[in-house]
Chains A and B, each alone.
Chain A
Amino acid sequence: MTQELVAPTTPLPIAAEVERACAGLPDADPRRVGAAADLAEAARQAASLVVTDPVYSTVAARLLARSIAEETGPVTFAESVAAAYAEGLLNERTAAFVAGSAAGLNALVDHDADDRFTYFGLRTVYDRYLLRHPETRRVLERPQHFLLRVACGLADSVSEAAELYGLMSRLAYLPSSPTLFNSGAARPQLSSCFLLDSPRDELEAIYERYGQVARLSKYAGGIGISWSRVRSRGSLIRGTNGLANGIVPWLRTLDASVAAVNQGGRRKGAACVYLEPWHADVEEFLELRDNTGEDARRTHNLNLANWVPDEFMRRVEADEVWSLFDPKEVPELVDLWGEEFDVAYRAAEAEGRFVRQLPARRLYGAMMRTLAQTGNGWMTFKDAANRACNQTAEPGNVVHLSNLCTEILEVTSDGETAVCNLGSINLAAHVTGDGVDWAALRTTARTAVRFLDRTIDRGFYPTPEAAEANRRWRPVGLGVMGLADVFFRLRLPFDSPEALALSTRIAEEIALAAYGESATLAAAYGPHPSYDRTRAARGVLHPDHWPDAAPVHPEEWDALRDWIGQVGLRNSLLVAIAPTATIASIAGCFECIEPQVSNVFKRETLSGEFLQINTYLVADLKERGLWTPRVRDAIKRADGSVQGVEELPDDLRALYRTAWELPQKALIDLAAARTPYIDQSQSLNLFMASPTIGKLSSMYAYAWRSGLKTTYYLRSRPATRIAQTTVTSDTEAVFCSLENPETCEACQ
């Protein structure tokens, strides 16, 4: 590590800076980076060459790092924190901690670690995460200052700060965006997601919920909210003797409210509404995102999710009838799951309390149509979500919904808004030559859990309902990113048995370490206040619900169960796999547990569009002398597929299949196999280039039968596409492409 005492060297002429940025990179040619007026422009120029060689991402990142250093001027870590504190951006505790240990903390800063960033990663950090002066808008800190500041917001000592900063500067672990944005800040809202129970079926309760959503949204939290308790269209309103308009007008108001609240000026608010499919307004609900029809019955900003009980799926399978109810008439269904739900549902049905009935498959088909047309209307499974949840041991504690990204499953009630603090391990940083470094992975997981637990106490909660619930349950969500990187590094096709075994073991090792650390914390600070109400307190840990899971370390689980029996757990829930869209960009790895979407793709974010190339593929192509303009064009023309690159051996073509080319069954199987070790859930996207109702209904029925708790977006492709402008047109040659599957055998 370099001591941070020297002032940055005097800026060199731009051309010399470009030379320097290319140093040690044999494939980077400084002459190709055109003339530029300043470092930032030179960085952009270099970045535009990424399509010709990904090495220019490093060149561009180095130039951007120099540009940032120029912008901050010579400043040490402690000085940058003092300046930000003086501007009112940081809280007193963090400022005092840093001032008190200035020398020790300054010595931790390793600016050379900037070299690990890709251009897109560093650009994201620069555009959105570095603290800026309120008036001049100049950045006040350099990237490593930012990471150390995040650590100091959570640490109690220099050695603690060093531990967390070390993980982050190696990009081995990153907390979620709210923690990165706000750790140490004047208002440290550190939580990623909030889950609100459905408003009670009355006017005041509905407006109270809008207020809560707005306050939570303001501090950059994603919102999940159920609407299943609100009466359906045509229901009698006693007070006025009128008839209710149903849930759509309420959701329109919610839509407008969510769009109006801009999250700290950083991104638009976002929310997902959950509805159970027995609600009599479910069909209108499924049309909320359509771009046809009456705009007065559309919500363009809300995400939609179906909270599906097993009974519905069973009736779909058996092709039976399904009854729709008004929750005002049948209020009991919302708070029941499993057999109790089945009994209550059938009783209400037998008593004729339904609004109307329809074939279950017709409603299921409508759900599939919504998924295909909008990607929305996520399928999440109420009974699977409740059955193994550590928080649902006692009756009355019910998981009513998931969150904005379908990886959080926590109980809610009228007075309890569930909260989750998240962070993700970059698996790519834990691969050694021929496998995963299990010891390092466990160490990372333990440190991560300790600091996730710390966020619960350091965080600012925008509403008392959220503060109360988080204090009581102390849930955290430790996740992963870069699983696809691991598979590429170890040369395991996504659908191979080896990939399945490895992915499952990763989940098990992380769960073991996370539970172990939470028990250690409980031994020191006591179990979380509602520990007695959990399944763990009854001797049942999450994997125990899967007797066939065959863990790699059964004896460790037995020992852990015994120890937890003695000391309890500090956290009611520990593992959740979040989508990691932004932090995976910062870490420069593939997102969470996802396969790659394309070998060449464009990422659109608020800070612009960026090209990303699969660097593993490029390395393999270079090794074979195949990284040529012709092959590059062919890959672009085939929308990032390499199946038409015949010079590439079969095994590599299999390795570099995209999400569109992989059997989706493999994605579901991987997710199902890791489910025993995921005590919350996982953001599982599914991909289908040209969806049909038949294929979708088979796929989601399979996902349900496999025991998945939740699924996330259905991603499909546009029916027509932009004519490519930068590849030479070659209409004669037929390239493998999902757009013309009839002419392509490689992908079938």
Chain B
Amino acid sequence: MTLLDPGMDLTLRPMRYPDFYDRFRAAIRNTWTVEEVDLHSDLADLARLTPEELHLVNRLVAFFATGDTIVANNLVLNLYAHLNAPEARLYLSRQLFEEAVHVQFYLTLLDTYLPDHDERVRAFAAVENIPSIRDKAEFCFRWIDSLGELRQLRTRADRRAFLLNLICFAACIEGLFFYGAFAYVYWLRSRGLLSGLASGTNWVFRDESMHMEFAFSVVDTVRAEEPELFDEELAGQVTAMLEEAVAAELAFAHDLCGDGLPGMSAEDMHTYLRYVADQRLARLGMPPRYGAENPFAFMELQDVQELSNFFERRVSAYQVAVEGTVSLDEAF
């Protein structure tokens, strides 16, 4: 039996994919709650933003308002339905919880940043009214619907359609749309702005990274089980899909940045997105499409471990769920 074979496998012993189970457990150890994030300190920063910066932040908040809900929908409608291993579904259940926490985080963010009730309503309506956000949402919806009413992945074509959906949400949505949005947050952070948003984003970013890694690990598994699904045509489709995502995210960047802000422009963001897209292709074992270099030095910072000054901010590095019992002679 392979991972994409239809059915409702219930067997955990012997376990076919212990890697998925390990990811599930690691995710639990990284539980965080919205109450731990201090967004209030951002209010003083908001008051001193320029109109251009404020526009960017408002658009960003509007995107975040609905982004994770869309991902959660695809998870339930497509991924959970077709990944037929209980350990994989354990991970997906956990991911669904994390998406819910993200939704709560961004709702709290919106309620904190936008004191006006009507503005809050407008932020949620952005997915219909603001073209740069609507286009990204439509891209997502199209891929959610791409499997149609498919209840079981019987044919090679079904499975390839599923793979494209999985890759789309990992590489284009979590791995590109969200990564683009995070870059704006860290750009603001590098200028000493909105550290509350950045500290929450650290946690969201960590979760999203794991979601993406899980999806890619599913791809690796399917590739090992059914190598014939992977051919030039699939690579071409993935590249085309990424090109479309880069274009949508670039339009969003033009909307956010206008004529450019200090240290941030649509042009730089375009380079960054192409760089990220190449990274996704490389992870999928596909040739790079753009050959772009990372233009954002502040993103380098996200790759190295943090050493927080404990007086000043809560570190995001602690784990929950520790194991073992008291003993006095273990090596340490």
Q: Does B78 contact A (CB under 8 A)?
A: no
Partner of B332, one of A267, A688, A725: A688
Q: List 27 A-B contacts (CB under 8 A).
A: A37-B262, A49-B297, A267-B312, A268-B41, A291-B36, A372-B319, A373-B322, A581-B309, A601-B304, A601-B306, A603-B308, A604-B307, A607-B192, A608-B192, A609-B301, A610-B301, A612-B307, A639-B305, A665-B332, A692-B322, A693-B322, A693-B324, A695-B331, A713-B310, A717-B319, A722-B206, A726-B299
Q: Does B317 contact A (CB under 8 A)?
A: yes
- Interface stretch of the complex, out of A360-368, A566-574, A642-650: A360-368
Taking a contact as CB atoms under 8 Å apart, the answer to whether B324 and A692 are in contact is: yes
User: Which residues of chain B are within 8 angstroms of A51 by Cβ–Cβ distance?
Assistant: 297, 300
Taking a contact as CB atoms under 8 Å apart, the answer to whether B298 and A374 are in contact is: no
Q: Does A48 contact B (CB under 8 A)?
A: yes
Taking a contact as CB atoms under 8 Å apart, the answer to whether A604 and B319 are in contact is: no
Looking at the assembled complex, report how far the CB atom of A220 sits from the nearest CB atom of chain B, in whole angstroms. 10
Complex: how many Å from CA A292 to CA B34?
11
Apart from A607-B192, A691-B319, list 8 A-B contacts with CB within 8 A.
A37-B262, A292-B33, A316-B328, A608-B189, A694-B330, A716-B319, A717-B319, A722-B303
CB nearest neighbor in B for A606: B312
Complex: how many Å from CA A497 to CA B190?
42
Taking a contact as CB atoms under 8 Å apart, the answer to whether B192 and A295 are in contact is: no
Looking at the assembled complex, report how far the CB atom of B131 sits from the nearest CB atom of chain A, in whole angstroms. 28
Looking at the assembled complex, report how far the CB atom of A446 sits from the nearest CB atom of chain B, in whole angstroms. 29
User: Which residues of chain B are within 8 angstroms of A241 by Cβ–Cβ distance?
Assistant: none
CB nearest neighbor in A for B44: A265
Q: Does A397 contact B (CB under 8 A)?
A: no
Binding site for A on B (CB under 8 A): 23, 26-27, 29-33, 35-36, 41, 179, 186, 189-192, 195, 202, 205-207, 209-210, 212-213, 262-263, 276, 279, 282-283, 294, 297-332
Taking a contact as CB atoms under 8 Å apart, the answer to whether B306 and A602 are in contact is: yes
Taking a contact as CB atoms under 8 Å apart, the answer to whether A127 and B33 are in contact is: no
Complex: how many Å from CA A191 to CA B273?
49
Taking a contact as CB atoms under 8 Å apart, the answer to whether B35 and A300 are in contact is: yes
Taking a contact as CB atoms under 8 Å apart, the answer to whether B306 and A300 are in contact is: no
Q: Does A83 contact B (CB under 8 A)?
A: no
Taking a contact as CB atoms under 8 Å apart, the answer to whether A694 and B316 are in contact is: no
Taking a contact as CB atoms under 8 Å apart, the answer to whether B190 and A608 are in contact is: yes
Chain A interface extent, by class: 35 or more
Looking at the assembled complex, report how far the CB atom of B312 sits from the nearest CB atom of chain A, in whole angstroms. 5
Looking at the assembled complex, report how far the CB atom of B73 sits from the nearest CB atom of chain A, in whole angstroms. 23
CB nearest neighbor in B for A366: B326
Given contacts A49-B297, A720-B30, is CB(A639)–CB(B325) below 8 Å? no
CB nearest neighbor in A for B311: A270
Taking a contact as CB atoms under 8 Å apart, the answer to whether A582 and B305 are in contact is: no
Q: Does A339 contact B (CB under 8 A)?
A: no
Taking a contact as CB atoms under 8 Å apart, the answer to whether B317 and A717 are in contact is: yes
Looking at the assembled complex, report how far the CB atom of A270 sits from the nearest CB atom of chain B, in whole angstroms. 5
User: Which residues of chain B are within 8 angstroms of A693 by Cβ–Cβ distance?
Assistant: 322-326
Complex: how many Å from CA A300 to CA B190?
26
Given contacts A41-B263, A300-B36, is CB(A697)–CB(B328) below 8 Å? yes
Taking a contact as CB atoms under 8 Å apart, the answer to whether A695 and B305 are in contact is: no
Looking at the assembled complex, report how far the CB atom of B169 sits from the nearest CB atom of chain A, in whole angstroms. 15
Taking a contact as CB atoms under 8 Å apart, the answer to whether A601 and B305 are in contact is: yes
Given contacts A693-B325, A720-B27, A725-B276, is CB(A44)–CB(B263) below 8 Å? yes
The 9 closest A-B pairs by CB, nearest first: A48-B297, A719-B29, A723-B209, A692-B324, A693-B324, A372-B322, A694-B324, A699-B332, A698-B330
Taking a contact as CB atoms under 8 Å apart, the answer to whether B30 and A719 are in contact is: yes
Taking a contact as CB atoms under 8 Å apart, the answer to whether B332 and A664 are in contact is: yes
CB nearest neighbor in B for A303: B310
User: Which residues of chain A are within 8 angstroms of B332 by Cβ–Cβ distance?
Assistant: 663-665, 688, 695-696, 698-699, 702
Q: Does A724 contact B (CB under 8 A)?
A: yes
Taking a contact as CB atoms under 8 Å apart, the answer to whether B283 and A729 are in contact is: yes
Taking a contact as CB atoms under 8 Å apart, the answer to whether A720 and B313 are in contact is: no
User: Which residues of chain A are within 8 angstroms of B318 by Cβ–Cβ distance?
Assistant: 372-375, 716, 718
User: Which residues of chain B are within 8 angstroms of A270 by Cβ–Cβ distance?
Assistant: 311
Given contacts A372-B319, A607-B192, is CB(A602)–CB(B307) below 8 Å? yes
